[in-house]
Amino acid sequence: MKVIEQTARTPSQNSFLDFLFGRPLSSEEDRAERVGPAAGIPIFGLDALSSAAYGPEAALTILIPLGLAGVVYIVPISLTIIVLLSIVYFSYRQTIAAYPTGGGSYTVATQNLGEKAGLLAGTALMIDYILNVAVGISAGVGALVSAAPSLQPHTLSLCLGILLVLSLVNLRGLREAGVLLMAPTYVFVGCLGGMILLGLWKAIEHGGHPVPVVPPAKLGSAVAGVSLWLLIKAFASGCTAMTGVEAVSNGVQAFREPMVKNARATLTTIIAVLILLLAGIAYLCHAYGVGAAPPGQPGYQSVLSQLIAAVDGRGIFYFVSMVAILIVLALSANTSFADFPRLCRALAENGFLPWAFAIRGRRLVFSYGINVLAILSGILLIVFQGVTDKLIPLFAVGAFLAFTLSQAGMVMHWKKSSQSGARFSMFINGLGATATGLTLCVVIIAKFTEGAWITVIAIPVLIMLMMKVHRHYQTVQSEIACPQPANLKNIEQPIVVLPLQGWNRIAEKALRFAYTLSTEVHVIHIAPEDDPDKPNTKELLGVWKEYVEKPARQAGYPPPELVVVRSPYRLVLAPIYRHVLEIQRKAPDRLVTVLVPELVERHWIYYFLHNQRATALKLILYVKGSGRIVVVNIPWYVSA
């Protein structure tokens, strides 16, 4: 066995692509591209953290009919969400340890609950990732245009512009995306944290009743009494604050060693910060009497905007905070860019998505997934015209479905485990599964008519498609499997068919090649015009004996058979194709090789000067042909 091993050279340079995407990275540079907690928090936590900016507001919006009295309820609702969040945190902490190779909901559900449950979790997450990109960008742009109303007509262009920048940055690779995200994330956390500390201090100073620097918007009087259904709906809306929590567990492999420790530290920090933000915001809303303003009305102010103004007035701090919120909202889409491609890769490696999703691009990222995510969320943005309100109800269903399946999977995992503490872990995950499962039901019921139904329909459709892809791959796999030695006996010469337009050097080259393949050569010439004495036909018949038959005999080959087909309807391809099929019919056990002479031009523009019959012939022989037809290109390079 003579096996030569080589290593391919570095790719050739292309300064434009290098500028846009960065220089290609070799697979060995993978480790250097991995991240620690400092960069991991922005990359995997932005989605979760930014939801502090819209979760409480979403809940307060539902409470508007209760007037000032409603603001009181934000505290218990937020506490419920924080408890849920803590349960989910402990569950995912366990998942990271149990699945250090990347334990997304898809993997956990597949391994413990079976393929179908895994697909359900995977699809739910895919949809949520796509929605997250659209929601994050549109929320950021929405905040921007409410600050600068003159940008309103450009909402969609701004959304698509941000999407393009995010895609490019992510195609450059994880680390560069992390560096870009770090500053705004920490400014955002710093501002909100500072606001909460200052507000807390003022509240304590004034015995729980601080005086707002800028008074918040007046809340209307109650138009409805409090009801359990209203509180449940407020809770369901507030749950959008929990989206994005699963990101870390999906991306464990993107962390540098020790992976599990780094991933856990990242998750802990993200959840801790998120809980502090949610709790602080809830308490301050209560203390300062800040409620949501009805969106879309003149002079609308977001809850955070009112809160910061109440605590510290509209100074520099206010503006820095608002800018940070805008940027972080827009960039929260980035979490999807980090995770969606990884999820698709896992699905592709199991044969549920095209292979291309599993191939890493020049910068070691799964470029195909990034592109597909960008295109799909771009379509969503265009269809919904970049308006957040219309997108929100579709959201969160996927996230909670994935949460539930992942926790349930972990319950099965611990059940099979004999590890010490497995029972306690099982209890934690069981609690998580129950809590997120109940929340899922609440979210679906509360938001069904407003748009959640789209997600509920999309999930089974996507699953069916993926099962179809899987079946197809399996069929092909079993069809081409060859678990036996090659059969190289009784290799017979093929029958060669050579269509010629006339006699020239391409024809000569093709004929030489024909005789390397076989001694049985059929030449077919089509006379497409009404006049059988057309120059080409006449010329070919004229030189045939002297130029072809004689030299063939002299070289010891049987001369080729010449078939001239008159074509009154001026068709060229159909007669050739029919001739090939006819030959094949007569010799059912032999391979038919069709030589297609073709001009290869140095400049693409010249292709218009020649008919593309060679290309069309190849195509038609492929589409209509069978396994026993092989097409050979005989290229003739035009030097001009």
Residue type, 345: R
Q: What are the structure tokens assigned to 311, written together? A: 């605590």
- Cβ-count burial of 434 within 10 angstroms (0-12 exposed, 13-18 middle, 19+ buried)? middle
Contacts of 412 (CB under 8 A, 6+ apart): 112, 113
User: Of 51-59, 121-129, 404-412, 515-523, which part binds its own copies (CB under 8 A)?
Assistant: 515-523
Among 98, 124, 544, 592, interactor with its own copies by CB under 8 A = 544
479 lines the binding site for its own copies (CB under 8 A): yes
- Cβ-count burial of 568 within 10 angstroms (0-12 exposed, 13-18 middle, 19+ buried)? exposed
Residue 341 preceded by cis peptide, ω within 30: no
CB atoms within 10 A of CB 27: 7
To its own copies, the closest distance from the beta carbon of 562 in angstroms equals 5
Phi, psi torsion values for 222, nearest 5 degrees: -65, 130
Contacts of 160 (CB under 8 A, 6+ apart): 378, 381, 382
CA atoms within 13 A on the CB side of 466: 25
| 193/354 with CB nearer its own copies | 354
| H-assigned helices in 547-612 | 550-554, 573-586
Cα separation, 601 vs 617, in Å, equals 18
257 lines the binding site for its own copies (CB under 8 A): no
Cα separation, 52 vs 272, in Å, equals 12
575 lines the binding site for its own copies (CB under 8 A): yes
205 lines the binding site for its own copies (CB under 8 A): no
Q: Which positions from 322 through 381 interact with its own copies, judged by CB under 8 A?
A: 354-356, 359-362
To its own copies, the closest distance from the beta carbon of 591 in angstroms equals 7
640 lines the binding site for its own copies (CB under 8 A): yes
Cα separation, 613 vs 617, in Å, equals 6
Among 546, 585, 586, 589, interactor with its own copies by CB under 8 A = 546
User: Of 262-270, 299-307, 338-346, 623-631, which part binds its own copies (CB under 8 A)?
Assistant: 623-631
Query: What is the per-residue binding string for its own copies in 592-621, x denoting contact by CB under 8 A?
Result: -------xx-----x-xxxx------x---
Residues paired with 521 in a beta bridge: 496
Among 418, 488, 533, 588, interactor with its own copies by CB under 8 A = 488
| 37/575 with CB nearer its own copies | 575
To its own copies, the closest distance from the beta carbon of 152 in angstroms equals 27
DSSP code for 65: G
Q: What are the structure tokens assigned to 556, written together? A: 């010891």
Q: Could you tell me how many residues of this chain bind its own copies (CB under 8 A)?
A: 114
To its own copies, the closest distance from the beta carbon of 549 in angstroms equals 6
15 lines the binding site for its own copies (CB under 8 A): no
Task: Note whether 397 and 455 are within 8 A (CB).
Answer: yes
Q: Which positions from 518 through 537 interact with its own copies, judged by CB under 8 A?
A: 518, 526, 529-530
Query: What is the per-residue binding string for its own copies in 494-513, x denoting contact by CB under 8 A?
Result: x--------xxxxxxx-xxx
Cα separation, 574 vs 529, in Å, equals 15
Phi, psi torsion values for 479, nearest 5 degrees: -70, -40
To its own copies, the closest distance from the beta carbon of 345 in angstroms equals 12
Q: What are the structure tokens assigned to 491, written together? A: 């290799």
Contacts of 73 (CB under 8 A, 6+ apart): 63, 66, 226, 231, 234
476 lines the binding site for its own copies (CB under 8 A): yes
| 221/554 with CB nearer its own copies | 554
User: Of 4-12, 34-42, 99-107, 124-132, which part binds its own copies (CB under 8 A)?
Assistant: 4-12
Among 200, 226, 541, 620, interactor with its own copies by CB under 8 A = 541
| 296/627 with CB nearer its own copies | 627
Cα separation, 180 vs 447, in Å, equals 35
Cα Rg, the chain, nearest whole Å:
33
Among 484, 533, 585, 588, interactor with its own copies by CB under 8 A = 484
| 272/543 with CB nearer its own copies | 543
Comparing CA positions, the residue from 55, 89, 402, 406 lying closest to residue 267 is: 89
Helix axes 155-172, 115-147, angle to 10 degrees: 130
User: Of 44-52, 237-245, 450-458, 550-558, which part binds its own copies (CB under 8 A)?
Assistant: 550-558
Comparing CA positions, the residue from 50, 244, 223 lying closest to residue 129 is: 244
30 lines the binding site for its own copies (CB under 8 A): yes
To its own copies, the closest distance from the beta carbon of 628 in angstroms equals 10
To its own copies, the closest distance from the beta carbon of 177 in angstroms equals 20
581 lines the binding site for its own copies (CB under 8 A): no
DSSP code for 152: G
| 298/627 with CB nearer its own copies | 627
To its own copies, the closest distance from the beta carbon of 608 in angstroms equals 6
9 lines the binding site for its own copies (CB under 8 A): yes
| 19/608 with CB nearer its own copies | 608
| DSSP SS3 for 35 | strand
DSSP string, 183-199: HHHHHHHHHHHHHHHHH
Q: Which positions from 551 through 570 interact with its own copies, judged by CB under 8 A?
A: 551-552, 554-555, 557, 559, 561-570
548 lines the binding site for its own copies (CB under 8 A): yes
53 lines the binding site for its own copies (CB under 8 A): no
| 223/481 with CB nearer its own copies | 481
624 lines the binding site for its own copies (CB under 8 A): no
User: Of 68-76, 224-232, 378-386, 475-483, which part binds its own copies (CB under 8 A)?
Assistant: 475-483
To its own copies, the closest distance from the beta carbon of 523 in angstroms equals 10
Q: Which positions from 411 through 470 interact with its own copies, judged by CB under 8 A?
A: 469
Cα separation, 567 vs 237, in Å, equals 72
Among 12, 101, 418, 449, interactor with its own copies by CB under 8 A = 12
Instruction: Name the residue with tokens 């149990």.
Output: 98
